[in-house]
Amino acid sequence: MTRSLSAKEHPMARKVKVIAHRGGREWAPENTMAAFRQALDLKVDGIELDVQRCATGELVVFHDDDVGRTTNGVGLVADISLGELRRLDAGSWFDKAFRGEQVPTLQEVLELVDGKCMLNIEIKNTPVSYENIEEDVVALLADYAHKESIIISSFDHYVLARLADIAPEYKLAVLNDAVVLDLPAYLARLGALYYHPGFDSCRADVVEECHKNGIQVNSWTINGRKNWSRSLDLALDGIVTDDPEDLMVYLGRAVAV
């Protein structure tokens, strides 16, 4: 009888990138400095976060278009000034230990990460549309010393096409949760070398086709050991997960924190 490989013995266990979804939603309030600090302490390969523009023009790290789910405030991010966002409690909804956690700016996160890991910046542009937000992101990244560690992704593929035109030096990733015919050609038209599909739509033949065309595949949001096992078998380049700590343990890559 052939013994099945443990996760630690799998040939992908040391290769696959562990990417903390919104900093790691399992252990801290999402998209907060507390989450990002813990991810860095764990020495993850990458951090994924979401960027929007607030009413006063700053780029802030926040997922939903409305602040109600993860703060004690109400209203759209786009309609709230940075000062007002700062006064919101972005931590208590998760646990009282995080009371007073603030909504961070992208600038603050860049200063914290400072090239310690890959940073996947997802530009949110639906359902609220932020005109020329990609230009704001590029302007903010101009002084970042670790541009090679940045991946910019979006579900708005027009944003990606615009980025390929104005800032071809950045790595771009197409976010998608549907089947795309002739995927490599589509990605090439957008100037993207990364494909970020939802895990439910992630197929072995698609991953293989991407790899044959030099495209890396990071899939989201993958939680639980059964799904991590399938991810290794799919030969994904990156696993975007809410629980990077347990994934690191599963892969035999845990570090003392």
Q: In the block, which residue shows the tokens 């764990």?
A: 42
Q: Is 63 a catalytic residue?
A: yes
Which of 10, 63, 157, 196 does the annotation list as catalytic? Answer: 63
Bridge partners of residue 217, in order along the sequence: 195
CA-based nearest residue to 72, from 98, 45, 54? 98
**What totals of helices (H) and strands (E) does the chain contain, helices first?**
9, 9
Which of 10, 21, 157, 211 does the annotation list as catalytic? Answer: 21
Q: Which two tokens stand for residue 180?
A: 């795309």
Q: Which two tokens stand for residue 182?
A: 């002739």
Listed in sequence order, the residues at least 6 apart from 11 whose beta carbon sits closer than 8 Å to its beta carbon are: none
- E strands, 32-183, in order: 46-53, 59-61, 118-123, 150-154, 171-176
Q: Is 21 a catalytic residue?
A: yes
Give catalytic residues, as residue numbers.
21, 63
